[in-house]
Amino acid sequence: MVQLAELSPTLFERYDKDIGELFTRLGAVSDDISTRDIDLGIVEERHVRLDLAEIVDSMRRGQEPRRDV
């Protein structure tokens, strides 16, 4: 068993740096994922709006709306 006092201070400095870098990278990845989720949500909403616009347009022209299967 190793006593805490026996460990080198530089070891702790390295761990501190590595942990800091890990959290920095984790934050960047998390931001990227969130941005992607928002972008996908916007794209999905646009598709729904276009589908709705097509349905309304078809109804105005007295046609049956097209149905995707």
Q: Mean pLDDT across the chain, nearest whole number? A: 82
Q: Give a yes or no: residue 67 inside a domain.
A: no
Please compute the mean of the pLDDT values over residues 5-21 and round it to a whole number.
80
Number of domains in the chain: 1
Judged on CB neighbours under 10 Å (0-12, 13-18, 19+), 55 is middle
Residue 13 within any structural domain of the chain: no
pLDDT (average), residues 44-55: 90
0.75 surpassed by pTM: no
Q: Is 55 contained in some domain?
A: yes
What is the C-alpha end-to-end distance of the chain, expressed in Å? 67
Q: Is residue 65 part of a domain?
A: no
Of the ranges 16-25, 45-54, 58-67, which one carries the lowest mean pLDDT score? Answer: 58-67
